[in-house]
Chain A
Amino acid sequence: MIALEHIAIRAGAFALSDVSFTVPEAVYGVLMGPTGCGKTTLVEIICGLRKPESGRVLVNGRDVTHESSGNRGVGYVPQDGAMFPTMTVRQQLGFALRIRRRPVEETAARVAELASQLGIAHLLDRKPHGLSGGERQRVALGRALAARPAVLLLDEPLSALDENMRGDMRDLLKRVQREHGVSVLHVTHDRSEARQVAGLLLVMTEGCVRPADLNTLGAPCTCQP
């Protein structure tokens, strides 16, 4: 479960006040809104990469507002994958377990499992240089899932992919969410993408987030920004 309660943040001219929403456990949530409305800022607040001025962040019911990023139990897949440039795919997938000093055999088994599940077993010894956009996103997804996080945050995961790749990646994301039983918050500005993957749709407009019906996208905002 991912919950934001009365979050407020200000950065220069940009400000959000009193943002609240909940993505229940094992639900695929999509946060939709126009470019520049603050979706990525909210993801960064959940990750712990930005501190809100006020409000609380809860992950599976636990208040993580003041926890460091690494102790929140979140997996984060940024827009471009943000590969570690000097590491092989194998090292990227095993990174979170290596940080946790897990036994080498356990790490190797988890890497093999994720690589097979995500269809990147043939890339394990490659470095990110030369990987396609879709391959990078799969590696980033596997890297985020390796330590079995409670929630998965996907920031525009399909925006860097061509049309053919998007369909495959959409299916993969839904399958991974089901198989791992994680709560997902998928951020996008694309309506059709939101419709195709969302179990729960949240729309961000004018600084507030509200649940929306998949068929009533674009209804006017009724909350106070």
Chain B
Amino acid sequence: MTDQHRAGPNWPFWVTIAVITAAYLALLLGMLAATATYSSPHHLLHALGSREIQYATGLSLVSCTIAALLSLVVAVPVGYLMSRGRFAGKNTLDTLLDVPIVLPPMVIGLCLLILFQTPIGRAIDRVVPFTYTVFGVLLAQFTVAAAFAVRQMRTTFDHLPSRPEDVAMTLGCSRGRAVWLVTLPAAKRGMFSAASIAWARSLGEFGPILVFAGATRMKTEVLPTTVWLELSVGNLEAAIAVSLMMVALAVAVLLAMRAVGERP
């Protein structure tokens, strides 16, 4: 008896996937193209020349860079612990570390605000004022960005074998020195990715900053705050100009990450 079964063609599968991809891409490109062509380049450049927007750009670039570096300082050891450590309560700690990722942004801002109303928070605030200051901007950005960086570093360490580190220890290293000399150089790309993700997350942070640091012009104003402030007073062109600048910065970060990731 011959088998009458014939496998169907593959093209419907690929066509379906192509259509879904194209539809989503059309939404993304349409959104960007509509924003980019809404106003003239002259008006956009004029808007970007304002002192407030220049201040917000400067503060955003500096605070995002500091938040990304601080995130990396935390993400490397915590990511290593979560990847290599075996201890009681690891699952609970894992869940806690993801809290900033799943909490609504406004709630994070509110939690920070309440933390700094406690006796310990007030004591810290008296030494380094965080509430409604530039330091508050930085802390709000760091709180969320660090969670993403930790996740990235954990994945990086998960993909690096631990055996070379063990060998380094048999050759005379302490655990810390083995990590420093063998594992961290191998984790260089992961560290760059973690810092880039933290930087990009910080750049787009708005909710926690608005609640915890406020939206005071020329003080705690970062680029997302500018978009919101300009929209609220009806200055659409300035809002669009800042939005386009943020798109350009985000694309630059993505391209840099891709370039580093593909380097052999």
Contact = CB atoms under 8 A, between A and B. Distances in A.
Asked whether A and B interact, the reply is yes
Interface of A: 44, 47-49, 68-72, 74-76, 78, 80, 82-87, 95-96, 99-100, 129, 140, 143-144, 146-147
Given A80-B163, A83-B164, A68 B174 contact: yes
A143 B185 contact: no
**4 smallest A-B Cβ distances: which pairs?**
A82-B163, A70-B172, A99-B172, A86-B185
Given A78-B166, A83-B164, A86-B186, A96 B171 contact: yes
State which size class the interface on B falls in: 10 to 19
Contact of B173 (A70, A129, A144): A70
A85 B186 contact: yes
Nearest to B167: A82
B164 A84 contact: yes
Contact of A82 (B166, B181, B185): B166
B186 to A, nearest CB: 5
Given A69-B170, A74-B170, A129-B264, 11 more contacts: A48-B169, A72-B170, A76-B166, A80-B163, A82-B161, A82-B163, A84-B186, A85-B164, A99-B172, A100-B172, A147-B172
Interface of B: 161, 163-164, 166-174, 177, 181-182, 185-186, 188, 264
Nearest to A50: B166
A186 B26 CA distance: 61
Contacts of A44: 166
Contact of A78 (B163, B181, B186, B188): B163
Contacts of A74: 170
A146 B171 CA distance: 9
Given A85-B186, A86-B185, A86-B186, A96 B166 contact: no
